[in-house]
Structure 1
Amino acid sequence: MKIQGKMFLWLAVFLLVMAVVYGVWSKEPAGTTALFLAFGLSIMIGYYLAFTARRVDTGAQDNKEADVADDAGELGFFSPHSWQPLALGIGGAFAFLGIAVGWWLLYFSLPILLVGLWGWVFEYYRGENRTQ
C-alpha cells in the first residue's frame, strides 16, 4: 500500500501544477475547477492509503524481492448471488435520467435505490445467518 499511496500523492502534485498552469493559460473556470477537484480527490486517496499502510502488515507489493505468487490468496468476500447491485444500477440510472428528463422521475428511482441499498446492507441478516 505504500507504493500506491506514494503514486497518488505524486499524482496530486502533478494535478496541482497542471491546474495552476491550465488556469493561468486558459482562464477557463470549468476545467480549472475539475483539475483542482481531481487534486483534492487524489490527496484524499493518497493520504488514506499512506495512513492505512502504517497500520497493516507489509504486503507483497511493498517488497522488492517478492514474486507474483507471493500476493496470491484470498482477496476478500464477494457475494456470488446478490441481485442488489442490479437494483442499485437501475435506480441510479433512473435517478440520473431524471436529472436530464425531469425531476419527477426521481420519485420512481428513489424507492428502487432504497430497496437496493437496504437489501445490500442487510443481505446476510436473514434466514439462518440472522443474529439474535
Structure 2
Amino acid sequence: MKAETWTILSCGIFFALIAPVYWVLTKDPTGTTALVMTTLLCVLLGFYLGVVAKQIPDRPEDRSDGEILDGAGEQGFFPPYSWWPLFCAAALAVCVLGVVIGWWLFIIGCTIGAVMVCGWIFEYYRGIHSH
C-alpha cells in the first residue's frame, strides 16, 4: 500500500499548491474551496492508507523481489451479491423527498432507512450466506 499512499499524497500536495494559485488568478471562492476540500480529502485518504499499510505485512506488490506466486491464496471475503444497498438508496430517496414534500415523509424514510441499514449490516448472520 505504500505506492497507493504516495500516489494519493502527491495528488494532495499538487492540489495544495494549485489552490492558492487558483485563488490569486481568479478570486473565485467556490473553486478555491473545492480545491482546498480536495486537498483535505487526499490528505485524509493518504493518512488512512498509510495507517493501514503499517498494519498489513509486506505485500508482494510492495517488494522489489516479489513474484506473482507470492500473492496466491485467499485475498479476503467478497460478497456474492446484495440487494440491501438498493433498498438503502431507495430509503434515502424517500428521505430526500421527505425534505421537499413534508417532514412526515422524512420520518417514514428514516424509519425505513434504519431497518434497511440493519438488514445490510446483519445480512451475513442468517440465510444462505451466513457464516
Q: TM-score range by the shorter chain?
A: 0.7 to 0.9
> Could you tell me whether the CA contact under 8 Å between 1:87 and 1:112 is conserved in 2?
no
The Cα of 1:122 is off from its aligned counterpart by 1.9
The Cα of 1:47 is off from its aligned counterpart by 1.1
CA-to-partner distance for each residue in 1:68-117, whole Å, 9 max, x for gaps?
55445433223324321111121223334555x44544334222321111
Distance 1:3 1:68 in 2: 17
Does residue 1:3 correspond to 2:3, yes or no? yes
In structure 2, runs of 5+ residues without a counterpart are: none
Determine the structure 2 residue equivalent to 1:47. Answer: 47
Distance 1:121 1:21 in 2: 45
- Residue type of the alignment partner of 1:16: A
The Cα of 1:125 is off from its aligned counterpart by 3.2
In structure 1, the residue corresponding to 2:47 is in which secondary structure? helix
- Residue type of the alignment partner of 1:47: F
Q: So what's the TM-score if we normalise by structure 2? A: 0.79
Q: So what's the TM-score if we normalise by structure 1? A: 0.79
With 30-39 and 53-62 compared, the bigger mean Cα shift is at: 53-62
Structure number with greater CO (CA < 8 Å, separation at least 6) is 1
With 46-55 and 79-88 compared, the bigger mean Cα shift is at: 79-88
Count residues with an aligned counterpart: 129
Determine the structure 1 residue equivalent to 2:38. Answer: 38
Determine the structure 1 residue equivalent to 2:15. Answer: 15
